[in-house]
Structure 1
Amino acid sequence: MKDLRTLLPAILFILGLASAMAQSQTCESKNGTSCDECLKNVSCLWCITSKSCITYPVKSILPPHSVCPLNDARWGLCWMNFQILIITLSVVGGAIILGLIICMFCCCKCENFGSNRFEAKMDRQANKRKNKQEERQSEMKERHEEIRKKYGLSGQNPYSKFA
């Protein structure tokens, strides 16, 4: 059981290495064929000017001009060159970033607007409660005045000097 655990990763590594070597050999072996034939392998790059199938230079993100000019390099699709691909991806990436920035700006602004609106609502409710309380106090004072007049206590309160 322990031997199988060590043997299986070794076999998988050897098979992966062999398939990588086979793929790199297949790109150069398809020189002189068509673009479609070359690009069936994902690791291959087709150059229109030299009509050659090259293993994609993975050490650099874009193929260097010495290998094939960007305008003539094809990878993945025969009808799309690297310049169009770069421009398209840049525009789409910029649009996504711009959309995210606008969305974040709108969300923050709407959030602040919502909190301002909430604070204004709370202020209105507090003012309404304060006004009702003042009305109740004035009504209470009027009732007390009526009671004092009724019982003849409208004069100065004799106990006010102790308060």
Structure 2
Amino acid sequence: MDFRSIVLVLVLCVVSTTVLVQTSAPGVACERKNATTCEECLQNVTCLWCITTKACVTYPTKTILPPHALCPLNDARWGLCWMNFQALIITLAVVGGILIIAFLVCLFCCCKCENFGSNRSEAKMERQANKLRTKQSERKIEMNMRHEEIRKKYGLSGPNPYSKFS
């Protein structure tokens, strides 16, 4: 083994032990702050403060919401001492709903505007095609008039003698 691989193994060992210590320590740290205030308890992100029992407990990460037996939602504090967990959930749900509705409205408006733009471009193309058709028909009429003038000039304006054969 070379020096780099030894250093890599040592760094991995140090990182893994700090991760293990950090994952096991917050539970102990939360329970140690039971006799303190809400502010001191919530300094650690993994802690949950219950007002009725004045207990600092580790947030149950296996369940999304803390169970009622641990602490009722309206008495639980997480992150902020002045906002209960139930109000926090309702606020986040309302903000999330508003963001989703705003996204859908923007998406609908963009699609609507895009279709409006394509309708406008189709109408423009149709107008250009009509202009080209009218110019072409005018040119055709002018060409026929010139041909008639040439026929008159050379005395070929009468009935076509070859029309019997066609």
Normalising to structure 2: TM-score of the pair? 0.90
Number of aligned residues: 163
**Amino acid across the alignment from 1:143:** R
Give the secondary structure class of the aligned counterpart of 1:159: helix
Unaligned runs of 5+ in 2: none
Q: For the aligned residues, what is the CA RMSD?
A: 1.5
Task: Give the Å deviation of 1:116.
Answer: 1.4
Task: Give the Å deviation of 1:146.
Answer: 2.4
Q: How does 1:82-121 map to 2 (within 5 A)?
A: 82-121=85-124
Work out the CA distance in 1 between the residues paired with 2:40 and 2:84: 17
Find the counterpart in structure 2 of residue 137 from structure 1: 140
**Amino acid across the alignment from 2:85:** F
Give the secondary structure class of the aligned counterpart of 1:155: coil
Give the secondary structure class of the aligned counterpart of 1:41: coil
Query: Percent identity at matched positions?
Result: 64
1:44 and 2:47 correspond = yes
**Amino acid across the alignment from 1:146:** E
Equivalent position to 1:152, from 150, 155, 164:
155
**Amino acid across the alignment from 1:80:** M
Equivalent position to 1:6, from 9, 12, 16:
9
**Amino acid across the alignment from 1:135:** E
Unaligned runs of 5+ in 1: none
Give the secondary structure class of the aligned counterpart of 1:40: coil
Normalising to structure 1: TM-score of the pair? 0.92
